[in-house]
Amino acid sequence: MTFHTANASSKKPAAPVISRIGRFVVVKELGQGSIGAVYLAHDPVIDRHVAVKTFNPKLSAFERKKNEEQFINEARAAGRLSHPNIITIFDASNEGGTTYIAMEYLQGRELSRLLARHHPFEFKDIATICCKVADALDYAHKHNVVHRDIKPANIFMAGDNQPKIVDFGIARAPNRVADALAKTNDAPYTLFHNNLLGTPTYMSPEQACGEPADGRSDIYSLGAVMYEMLTGRRPFQADDTEKLLRMIAVQNPTSPHEVNSEVPEALSYIAMKAMHKQPEKRYQTAQEMVHDLKRYLTKGKKPSVKKPEVEEENSHKEKPAKAGFFGRFWFWALTITTLTVAAVRYYPH
Whether the CB-CB separation of 128 and 297 falls below 8 Å is answered with: yes
149 classed as catalytic: yes
CA distance 328 to 349: 32
CA distance 39 to 30: 5
CA distance 228 to 256: 9
Question: 232-236, long-range: CB within 8 Å, 24+ apart, which pairs?
Answer: 232/115, 232/118, 232/260, 233/259, 234/201, 235/275, 236/201
State which amino acid sits at residue 340. Answer: T
By the 10 Å C-beta count (0-12 exposed, 13-18 middle, 19+ buried), 323 is classed as: exposed
In 3D space, the residue among 149, 114, 159 whose CA is nearest the CA of residue 220 turns out to be 149
Q: Which of 135, 149, 167, 292 is catalytic?
A: 149
Q: Which residues are catalytic?
A: 149
